[in-house]
Each structure stands twice: as C-alpha cells, then as structure tokens.
Amino acid sequence: MSRENPHAGLAITDDDATIAAALEDVSIPTLMLSLVHMTGDASLIRGELKPQGLFLNEVQGYMSEDDKAAVRRIALGAIRAYRDGGCRLPAPPGPDLIREMMSWLVCEPVPDEYVPMMLEEMELDGADARRVAIDAGSSARAAFPVVVIGCGQSGLLAGIRLREAGIPFTIIEKNPDVGGTWFENSYPGCRVDVGNHFYCYSFEPSDQWTEYFARQPEIQSYFSDVMHRHGIERDIRWNTEVVSARWNDDSSSWQVAIRSADETEETLSARAVISAVGQLNRPNLPDIPGIETFAGPSFHSARWDHSVDYRAKRVAVVGAGASGFQIVPTIAPDVAALTVFQRTAQWMFPNPNYHEKVGPGVQWAMRHLPFYGRWYRFLLFWPGCDGGLAAARVDPEWPHQDRAVSATNDITRELFTAWITEQAGDDTELLAKVVPDYPATGKRTLQDNGSWLRALRRPNVELVREGIDHIDAHGLVTMSGVRHDVDIIVYATGFQANRFLWPMEIVGRDETVLSDQWGDEPSAYLGITVPNFPNLFCMYGPGTNLAHGGSLIFHSECQIRYITGCIKALLAGEHESMEPRPEVHDEYYARMQRELDGLVWSHPSIEHSWFKNKQGRIHVLSPWRLVDYWTWTRAPDLDDFVMRSASPPRRSASR
C-alpha cells in the first residue's frame, strides 16, 4: 500500500522504548487491527486475544490487563519489524477480512447494509467518497454563485465542498470568527459530548485532541485550522448578518440582503442559498416577571460575559440542561455560593472518560500506526449508530408506560437510576430531587462522569427544584416565596430551536414567506429542501437533530453531499431551479411525524423539552436510522423535484 494513503501513518523512526511507552495509552482492540494492516496477518484476530464487549466512548477497550499486556508485547515486536523493514505495508486486507475486522472490533456482526456506510466513513482506501465533483464547464459553474448562511461546522463544510466542486460562494457569518455554536458558547466547562475522534470531519481527522471530549477552545481552533487549510476564509464575510432572502423568478436567483456590523447594507445575488445557521443559535431567555430589574450582571450561557468575575460571588444558574450541567461543576469550586434552579431533572449517561485526557501515546498512534485513527473512529461510531433508536422506540404492549416506554427503556432507567443513587450516597433529599420522573432518554441525555452530583453535594451549592415566581433587583423568589439573593444570574435556558432561520425573512416563489409557511411546524424534505423555496437548501434543518446517536458532523456530510448533488443536477440539466414536489414533501413529513410519535421523545410525561413545540409536537429531531438517512441522501432523486428550465417557456415544466 502506498504512502499516498493519508491514513497509512507517518514512517516510524522512534526507538523501542518510545514505542513501548506509547502502547501503554492506546486502545488495544484498535491497535490489534492496525497490526493486521501492518503485518497482513489475520490470525492476530482469530485467537484468544479479543475484546470482551463494546461500550460507548471506549478508550482502552474491554480486555483483561493480562490480555492487554500480551497484545502490547506482540505489538512491540510487530511494530519494530515494520519500522526496521522500512515501514512497508503489505497488500491491504480484502473486503471479507475488512468485514471480519469490523465485526471483531465491535463484538457483534456488522449487518451488510451498514458496511458501505462505515467503509465510506473510515476511508480505508484513502478516498474521500463524499466529495462530489461537478463536471459542468467552468463558465456554467462561475455563473452559479451560492450564498451560505453561517460558518459553523456545517457552513464551513459547505464552503469546503463548494470549493472542491468549483462553485463560487460567499459565506455570511454574524460572528467575527468560525465555529458557530462552538464560537458562541464559551461558558466555563463547555465541551463536546460526542467523542472528538469521531466528532470531526471524516476527511479531516485530527491527531491533536488533548481530551477525548475536547473543550470549546480546542474545538473552535480545530474548525479554524480546517478553514485555513482549505483557504475558505477569503470567501467569508464576518460580522455580517443576512437580513432577508427573496427569490426572483425572472432571474431564478435569490436576492440576499446582508447587513454588516457598521450597519452597511448590501444585496448579493445567488443562484442558490444554503442555510447553515444551526438549530441552537438564538438564545432563549425565560419569561420570568421582573427579569429586567435584576441589579447585578446577568447573561445567557451562550453570551457569557467574561468581563464578570464570578469568583467569590453568589451566583444563580437558571436551567440545568446540557449547558447548565457543564457550567455548574466548573464554577462551583470558585464561587461563594451557587444556587441551581432546575425545573426538570435530567437523565445522565455514565461516562467515566468524559474528562479524560488523551495520552501522548494515543496521539503518537494516531500519527504513526496504519489506520489506527480510522478504526478508532469506527469504534466510537458503531455503538452510537442506530442501536439508540431501537431503544427509543415505544412498545405499545409494554404495561408500565408511566415509567418507561419498553422493556429496554426500563432497563436503561434502572441503570441510570443506579448511577444517580450511588452518587447521591445517603443524601435522600438530594436523591429525591435528581431522579427524573419521565422515561430515560426522553430528553437530551447528558454525559456524566460524576461531576454533576459531586458539585451539587458541595456545601456552597444548593439545588432548587421549584419554579421561579419573579426576579427583583437582589435575586430570585420561588413560587413558595423563598428568596435567593445573588450577585450574578446565568441563564442556561436554551435556545429558540423551533424557529428555524429566524429572524431572517425568507420569501420564496409567489411571495411565500417561509416563517408563515412553517409557523410552529417547520419541515423540509429530508430536512433539506422546502416546497415553494427553489434552490434553498438547509443543513441541520428541520427534523435533523440527532437525539439517538451519531454526530451532527456525520449528518452535515450527508446533507452537503446531497446539496452538491442537487447543484450538479441543476447545472447538468441546464435547469434554473429545483424544489421538492409538495406531495413528496408532505408524504415525508407525515411519515416522519408517525415515526416520531412512536419514539420516547414524544412521551406525554415530558412537559418541557426543546425537542417539542408549544403543542408538544416534534419538528427538530430525526426519527431515522443513520443508515437510512445516509442512503436517502447519497444523491438526489430528481423525480422528487420540480425541475424548472428557462426555455422554452420557463413555466412549462411539470408540476
């Protein structure tokens, strides 16, 4: 195998002691698969040495210490021979062996339908199969400018793919830098909760992560590095907001009105608009009477005021979803007193590795051991791939719907409850407050290594599970009239997730206003295209948030491949525009709502959840298996669309 494969690793020149030290840190099952690549010897995975099970967020693998030591001894010999032989790789494993390696690593058969998706994700052949080439002539491509709204993970990805396809684009970003949510959320303790060796672009792996679940500055800097490596920054307008976008049927183009920080307004013309604004970018401040009267500093978690010194102060944190859950343990040791207002208790997934550092040996392995990083990516992906969806399904025959939606869900509830109970110790009052009263995984499940309850048990921390009646100059008063005087209030109260593309005004064909068409029920075919809005493509649009596993980056890669495929089809057919057929969209929407009705997130006992709109319906989540979404978005089926052409005459295309 040639070194041109970027995943084959750098040549190894380190001495034995350095290699042996590195092997102390690595994932042992992943190491064994790298050894198969290195030696061509499949018998390595056909003997007694094998993983005993697979769990989400695995670091070193589930093998006995003796077995791990045995593998390290074998590995040291094999790596030494590989190094001394000039780091020449034998022929790559054939498809059958790759299948065997996949199933061996995850301790269960990987069904046929998953293999192509996983192979694509892993890029063992070194090819980035999600990249779409557009072979239209350069003048046709040049005449197809695209505006991308937002430069978070999906907008940056859109820029990269458009650049590769030779399509001119401008990214409009309201912030001064890249990252979107990873730029805006700089609150203390902010970190990702999908393992970073998977939560990064499939074609841009990083061997630099210093923690398995990196903190915000490291993630933001990853996106910044990728942006510079691909030269995307020259096509980004920073500190600029899209005010409106209006479709012009005569020119088959979008007129995109933008406003920069100095209030200068301008209109860009684009043949297509890609919305990459995310779902969680407009803070939600609670509607609590008197909120504006508080005399001290107060701010939303996504607008953290770093000029405010919270040390030795009395702080209130209102809200304990994923954001509050990270803020509280981080600031608790430094504040004089911390009052946490939690309306609904949260289910937590035990993850002992949540704050774990990536050892230098892992970074070395990522750089040097052939395909180590690719197999580790698969190891992280697989346990969060579709198993969680099956577990979220409501079993109507299950008799105890008040506490769980199925037998599996009941077991999850027991496991999670045991995790909470063990940590609450003898504090029964606290335990009563922190065990949720709705089915497990019914809201966004949080990653926990014990830091949440450790923080709540501190003497300077109080958990309040009561509603807030009002706020005044000095603090907060609960429904039962208890005062909590504080110096600082932090609102970790989430986002206006159901208001997609808000507050922009998007006007499509025949003066249709998107916010009117959607109301409180935003929907898009495959979460990407919307009837009446030609050449408008959403990334992380309605119905695409993942509550059951995977990663939004995986989803974004699916979406941008589909979108680039749409642009390719428009240019190849010399079409002016495309939009989904209403009946295709409506059937998809109805099917999606049926699916969502049968999943735990719709459970009626869940009163408050950002997954639900005011009527309790869900429009933000995907109910689909990742493998299905991947299959559906590999390329657009043009029969799903109304394709319009300029001549003859513009309106002659079927509807």
Size of the site for ligand NAP (CB under 6 A): 25
Q: Are 149 and 273 in contact (CB under 8 A)?
A: yes
Question: Least Å distance between CB 291 and ligand NAP?
Answer: 10
Per-residue DSSP letters for 289-354? TTGGG--S-EEEGGG--TTS--TTSEEEEE--SHHHHHHHHHHGGGSSEEEEE-SS---EEE-TTT
Collapsing DSSP states into helix, strand and coil, what is residue 238?
coil
Choose the binding region for ligand NAP from 189-197, 366-374, 434-442, 619-627 (rule: CB under 6 A): 189-197
Q: Are 208 and 467 in contact (CB under 8 A)?
A: no
Using CB under 6 A, which of 34, 57, 323, 406 touches ligand NAP? 323
Closest CA to 355 of 244, 247, 455: 455
Is the dihedral angle over the CA atoms 403, 406, 411, 413 positive or is it negative?
Answer: negative
| 214: contact with ligand NAP by CB under 6 A | no
Q: Which is nearer to ligand NAP, 61 or 319 (CB)?
A: 319
> Burial letters for 354-380: b for 16+ Cβ neighbours within 10 Å, e otherwise?
bbeebbebbbbbbebbbbbbbbbbbbb
Using CB under 6 A, which of 61, 195, 278, 324 touches ligand NAP? 324
Q: Are 637 and 561 in contact (CB under 8 A)?
A: no
Integer Cα distance of 449 and 211 in angstroms: 14
Using CB under 6 A, which of 150, 189, 319, 442 touches ligand NAP? 319
Question: Least Å distance between CB 275 and ligand NAP?
Answer: 18
| Entry field: residues in the chain | 655
Choose the binding region for ligand NAP from 29-37, 321-329, 476-484, 577-585 (rule: CB under 6 A): 321-329
* x/- map, 490-509, ligand NAP, by CB under 6 A: --xxx---------------
| 340: contact with ligand NAP by CB under 6 A | no
Q: Pairing between strand 169-172 and 146-149?
A: parallel
Q: Are 270 and 147 in contact (CB under 8 A)?
A: yes
Q: Are 24 and 72 in contact (CB under 8 A)?
A: yes
Question: Least Å distance between CB 321 and ligand NAP?
Answer: 2
Q: Which is nearer to ligand NAP, 145 or 527 (CB)?
A: 527
Q: Which is nearer to ligand NAP, 345 or 504 (CB)?
A: 345
Cis status, amide bond into 297, omega within 30 of 0: no
Using CB under 6 A, which of 141, 197, 314, 444 touches ligand NAP? 444
Q: Which is nearer to ligand NAP, 182 or 376 (CB)?
A: 182
Integer Cα distance of 504 and 496 in angstroms: 14
Task: Tell me the backbone φ, ψ of residue 327, rounded to 5 degrees.
Answer: -70, -45
Q: Pairing between strand 348-350 and 265-270?
A: unpaired
Choose the binding region for ligand NAP from 21-29, 132-140, 188-196, 426-434 (rule: CB under 6 A): 188-196
| 40: contact with ligand NAP by CB under 6 A | no
Closest CA to 532 of 566, 577, 590: 577
| 102: contact with ligand NAP by CB under 6 A | no
| 322: contact with ligand NAP by CB under 6 A | yes
In angstroms, the first-to-last Cα distance of the chain is 51
Question: Least Å distance between CB 637 and ligand NAP?
Answer: 30
Q: Are 27 and 60 in contact (CB under 8 A)?
A: yes
Question: Least Å distance between CB 617 and ligand NAP?
Answer: 16
Question: Least Å distance between CB 327 and ligand NAP?
Answer: 9
Structure token pair of residue 16: 């034995």
| 550: contact with ligand NAP by CB under 6 A | no
| 193: contact with ligand NAP by CB under 6 A | yes
Closest CA to 190 of 300, 65, 347: 300
Torsion angle in degrees (nearest 10) through CA of 232, 237, 242, 248: -70
Closest residue to ligand NAP: CB criterion: 321
Using CB under 6 A, which of 33, 71, 158, 192 touches ligand NAP? 192
Q: Which is nearer to ligand NAP, 594 or 608 (CB)?
A: 608
Using CB under 6 A, which of 246, 259, 343, 634 touches ligand NAP? 343
Structure token pair of residue 499: 């208001």
Q: Which is nearer to ligand NAP, 468 or 600 (CB)?
A: 468
Integer Cα distance of 636 and 584 in angstroms: 13
* x/- map, 50-69, ligand NAP, by CB under 6 A: --------------------
Is the dihedral angle over the CA atoms 487, 492, 493, 499 positive or is it negative?
Answer: positive
Choose the binding region for ligand NAP from 34-42, 270-278, 323-331, 585-593 (rule: CB under 6 A): 323-331
Structure token pair of residue 51: 């993983």
* x/- map, 580-619, ligand NAP, by CB under 6 A: ----------------------------x-x---------
Residues 276-315 that bind ligand NAP (CB under 6 A): 280, 286-287, 301
In what order do the strands lie in the sheet containing 314-318?
A: 298-300, 488-491, 314-318, 337-341, 461-464
Q: Which is nearer to ligand NAP, 170 or 609 (CB)?
A: 609
Q: Which is nearer to ligand NAP, 343 or 617 (CB)?
A: 343
- Residue identified by tokens 């009395």 is 314
| 318: contact with ligand NAP by CB under 6 A | yes
Q: Which is nearer to ligand NAP, 197 or 444 (CB)?
A: 444
Integer Cα distance of 122 and 115 in angstroms: 10
* x/- map, 118-137, ligand NAP, by CB under 6 A: --------------------
Choose the binding region for ligand NAP from 63-71, 187-195, 200-208, 476-484 (rule: CB under 6 A): 187-195
- Cβ count near 286 (within 10 Å): 15
Choose the binding region for ligand NAP from 20-28, 85-93, 320-328, 423-431 (rule: CB under 6 A): 320-328
Q: Which is nearer to ligand NAP, 22 or 492 (CB)?
A: 492
Choose the binding region for ligand NAP from 133-141, 238-246, 336-344, 614-622 (rule: CB under 6 A): 336-344
Of all residues in the chain, what percent are helix, strand and coil, respectively (each to 5)?
Answer: 35, 15, 45
Interface residues toward ligand NAP, by CB under 6 A = 191-193, 280, 286-287, 301, 318-324, 326, 342-344, 444, 468, 492-494, 608, 610
